[in-house]
Structure 1
Amino acid sequence: MADQKNHKCDESALRMAVEHLGQGIAVFNQARQLDVSNDQFQLILDLPPALCEAGTHLVDIVRHLAERGDFGDGDIGQLAQSRLDDIEQNTSGLLERTGPNGQYLEVRTHRLPNGGLVISYNDISARFEAERALAQVNQSLEKRVQERTKALTHLNTELERARAKADAANLDKTRFLAAASHDLLQPLNAARLYTSTMVERAHGTDLARLATNVDDALVAVEDIMSALLDISRVDSGAIKPAISTFSIRELLKKVKVEFEPAATAKNIQLRLVGADALVSTDRRMVARVLQNLVSNAVKYTAEGGAVLVGCRKRGRRLRLDVIDNGIGIDKDQHSLIFTEFSRLEPGARIAQGLGLGLSIVQRFGQALNLDVEVDSVPGRGSRFSIYLPPSADAAPPPPAAAPAPPPNASMAGKQILCVDNERDILDAMQALLDGWGCDVRMARSLKEISQKNLLEGWVPDIVLMDYHLDQSSGLDAIQWLRQTVGGHLPAILITADRSAQVQNLAEERNVSVLPKPLKPAALRALMSRLT
């Protein structure tokens, strides 16, 4: 009696525990007769109450499901036996679709120590549908990604084509500018030479003022063209920074040679405070920046004024200053002066131009990642500064060179060989150099030098050579002349090509360079220094 009572208590506790589970639970004995099941078991499998009573054989339940079509089409007996075999053999999770509602069930079987069997059914339809929906979303996303990727690939291809076209256009533009700079500057160069000769020969006559006005107008045209070409080269990417180490002192020497004649003409004291510091940046571009700043300083400083160019250390950088006591600029207009074609009223009354010089300064500064600074007070003057990175090299400064001769040093009797393939240029150079008292010989090519025996019994003190000759480059021609004459032959390469390649080649061969249109005062100063 006591054992039966305990057994009934255990069975009652088991039933209560099973009823509170969320899964459908069925416990079968060794004979595979149903001992215990809960309401979820009947609900999930949608079984008639008779099949959920204790003592029901497992085979009867499975056969009912087979007859209902839960296992698909086929022989009922075979379908039922196949499912019974699965239940007996599989103890791991089994996912199957069953029931009239087509829900997804997770079926698990577990053998009891006494040989019985526990089968649990868990309705995972919601999870399965969520996973399927997620898979569909992923598939949709993957499709969208593929479509977007295809669209982006197409867009990138189009952008690449557009970039290639733009690069080709820039290359064409660069080539055009190279040709234009030569073709446009050639006649301007000849005109400058003629007007400079007229100014010198008309000195003290009524024609002097007219000749000076013409020369000033040509200078303005030259400045505008040079500025436009510089801006076009930067914008088209034709100018690429070439970082090197160089001395500030050497840079200032060249500035003095170029601008001292213009400063002297206005009785402006041009003072350059040299520094032995070495900097590491693009020398050509920094030189162009400095040329624009010094040119503006001389241009907008009244007669009798002063311009100071110097370098000083500021923190870890070097500050290159161009200081003048000219007209000055209002503080609220400082940002405007770097805009293309921007000219402030006071400056426009003093000098001609389009207002491109400072735009070039800003563009070159940005290309080199250099800071440009301006400090100015109206009526007192201006300071324009550019900050340069010092070089890590500790090379000693070069020895001080001998003082350069004054720009008006006598050129009388100097033997000058001038080579240019343009007859107008040669005629203009002849007139200019004759006016300086030089002994001049002209040729359009090396072949003409040989045919006319120009070097027979005559050795030039200096050679003025055009870069673009018909059958050779000016640098190759200079090398041939040096080998023919023997010893070192001073030479100046005169060219409209301002590329770094030409400048570097000239330096390697110890040849000075002057750009076209040629400034006679700068030519005379350089010739005096070289001879």
Structure 2
Amino acid sequence: MRETHGHVKATEGSAAFGTPRMPTRPMTWSMTAKAKPHKPSEFESVLLAIAAHDLRQPLQVIQLAHDFLGRGDRTTSELCQLQSGQAAIDRLKNQLDELVAALQLSEPAKRVKLTPVRVGPLLQQATYAKKVAALTKRVSVRTVPTSATINSNALLLGTVLRNLVSNAVKYTQPGGRILVGCRHTGRSIRIDVYDTGIGIAGDQMPLMFDAFTRLDPTRRDSLGIGLFIVRQAIGILGHRIDVSSTPCRGSRFSIFASRAK
């Protein structure tokens, strides 16, 4: 079964370096995808300018007003309202950041200079960024230390890893586990993000990297462009990404990049 951005095939799951173990010899779907950033229209460029500047200013005003209202003693009811308001502000901030990142990556890909990048610090930063969200959901996140160095771009690769860890936290139920690490495979380094989340159905595989696609359509807390950003960044970097998943059991997102000499 061949797709526009790569190929989809059935494989068996594994439990490498203490990864969350799936059922005995499960059949999972695996997808290899390479992105080809498209040329943006003038409309997209205008959207980027609006999102990056015009929308941030009123959001900052709302945050300042919210902080002012939160000063002093407040009743329990008022505190609940303030917490609800802050959650809405944070959600808007996250969605705005996603939108800006997606629009930036849709611009004509300038030649990105690949340099030696240490994988370990990027893995730590990606998991730390979602530490609070994971603790709130009672999801365990573990990072395996590594000294691996690859040819990449730290900014873009960091964006990819943050989005993958964010997705793992978002789609893993309370009590679940997430493991982030890497291993040597031939001349490449494979960076893995494992989770014991809801998994991905086979018919969703070819569509998961499209913009505004939600793996769980009942969720309304994101724009559904996290994996689109991943695809765009991976294409610019020239890396490869594989996805293996078993519905209701978990997923593994793997990035392949060449080792730095």
TM range (shorter): 0.7 to 0.9
Cα distance between partner residues in 2 of 1:262 and 1:204: 26
1:309 counterpart SS class: strand
1:38-69: CA deviation from partner (whole Å, max 9, x where unpaired): xxxxxxxxxxxxxxxxxxxxxxxxxxxxxxxx
Cα distance between partner residues in 2 of 1:352 and 1:289: 19
Change (3 A) 1:198 1:357: farther
Equivalent residues in 2 for 1:187-206, closer than 5 Å = 187-189=58-60, 191-192=62-63, 205-206=76-77
Matched letter for residue 124 of structure 2: K
Matched letter for residue 383 of structure 1: R
1:329-374: CA deviation from partner (whole Å, max 9, x where unpaired): 1122111111111224xx2324522211101111111111111111
2:151 counterpart SS class: strand
1:434-474: CA deviation from partner (whole Å, max 9, x where unpaired): xxxxxxxxxxxxxxxxxxxxxxxxxxxxxxxxxxxxxxxxx
Residue 192 of structure 2 is aligned to residue 311 of structure 1: no
Cα distance between partner residues in 1 of 2:79 and 2:86: 10
Could you tell me which residue of structure 1 aligns to residue 260 of structure 2?
391
CA contact (8 A) 1:202 1:211 kept: no
Change (3 A) 1:348 1:195: farther
Equivalent residues in 2 for 1:67-146, closer than 5 Å = none
CA contact (8 A) 1:300 1:350 kept: no
Could you tell me which residue of structure 1 aligns to residue 227 of structure 2?
358
With normalisation by structure 2, the TM-score equals 0.73
> Would you say how many aligned residue pairs link Structure 1 and Structure 2?
223
Residue 47 of structure 2 is aligned to residue 182 of structure 1: no
Could you tell me which residue of structure 1 aligns to residue 45 of structure 2?
173
1:348 counterpart SS class: coil
Q: CA deviation at 1:256?
A: 3.1
> CA-atom RMSD, angstroms?
3.1
Residue 212 of structure 2 is aligned to residue 341 of structure 1: yes
Change (3 A) 1:268 1:204: farther
Q: CA deviation at 1:246?
A: 1.7
Cα distance between partner residues in 1 of 2:105 and 2:63: 26
Matched letter for residue 367 of structure 1: I
1:335 counterpart SS class: helix
Q: CA deviation at 1:326?
A: 1.2
Could you tell me which residue of structure 2 aligns to residue 289 of structure 1?
160
Q: CA deviation at 1:204?
A: 9.1
Equivalent residues in 2 for 1:441-520, closer than 5 Å = none
Cα distance between partner residues in 1 of 2:201 and 2:40: 41
- Hey, which of these two has a bigger chunk of strand by percent? 2
Change (3 A) 1:202 1:214: farther
1:382 counterpart SS class: strand
Equivalent residues in 2 for 1:297-446, closer than 5 Å = 297-344=168-215, 347-392=216-261
Change (3 A) 1:374 1:190: farther
Could you tell me which residue of structure 2 aligns to residue 11 of structure 1?
none
Residue 99 of structure 2 is aligned to residue 228 of structure 1: yes
- Hey, which of these two has a bigger chunk of helix by percent? 1
Q: CA deviation at 1:169?
A: 5.2
- Using CA pairs under 8 Å that are at least 6 residues apart, name the structure with larger relative contact order, 1 or 2: 2
Matched letter for residue 326 of structure 1: G
Cα distance between partner residues in 2 of 1:381 and 1:196: 39
Aligned sequence identity (%): 34
Change (3 A) 1:168 1:272: closer
Residue 77 of structure 2 is aligned to residue 211 of structure 1: no
1:21-47: CA deviation from partner (whole Å, max 9, x where unpaired): xxxxxxxxxxxxxxxxxxxxxxxxxxx
Q: CA deviation at 1:190?
A: 5.1
CA contact (8 A) 2:51 2:100 kept: no
CA contact (8 A) 2:51 2:96 kept: no
1:352 counterpart SS class: coil
Cα distance between partner residues in 2 of 1:291 and 1:371: 17
With normalisation by structure 1, the TM-score equals 0.38
1:296-338: CA deviation from partner (whole Å, max 9, x where unpaired): 1111112222211111112211111111111111122111111
Change (3 A) 1:255 1:199: farther
The structure with the largest alpha-carbon Rg is 1
CA contact (8 A) 1:299 1:351 kept: no
Equivalent residues in 2 for 1:516-531, closer than 5 Å = none
Could you tell me which residue of structure 2 aligns to residue 260 of structure 1?
131
Cα distance between partner residues in 2 of 1:308 and 1:197: 40
